[in-house]
Amino acid sequence: MKYLRIYFDSRLSFCKHIEHIADKSRTLTYMLNRTSQLQWGLGHKSLKTVYEGAIVPLMTYGAPVWEGAIIKRKYLQKLQSAQRLINIKFS
């Protein structure tokens, strides 16, 4: 069930929600990476502004509700891999 853009399941594991967040942030990262590679593309400061305005809120939305799911290592690794990709692309 999706409620207020947070995916709930019967066990409150938030697996689907974390996968959705990771996939969406990866997609946004790839789109921003394509934009930044152009000669007239975004500078580092602009990329940081977009990151702080789009990706951080995406990854932290509703965190007080689903933060308990991060105890499982596989969910934490999904979010960390998306964050790592962002750090590699924009640093």
pLDDT digits (tens, 9 = 90+) for 7-63: 898 888 898 999 999 999 999 888 888 877 655 667 778 778 888 898 899 989 988
pTM of structure: 0.79
The answer to whether residues 86 and 30 touch, using CB atoms and an 8 Å cutoff, is no
Indicate the pLDDT class of residue 86, thresholds 50, 70 and 90: confident
Please tell me the total count of domains within the chain.
Answer: 1
Q: What is the DSSP string of the chain?
A: -EETTEE--TT---HHHHHHHHHHHHHHHHHHHHHHHSTT---HHHHHHHIIIIIHHHHHTTHHHHGGGGGSHHHHHHHHHHHHHHHHHH-
Residue 27 sits in which domain range? 2-90
The pLDDT score that the predictor gives to residue 23 is: 94
Strands 2-3 and 6-7: antiparallel
Tokens of 56: 């951080």
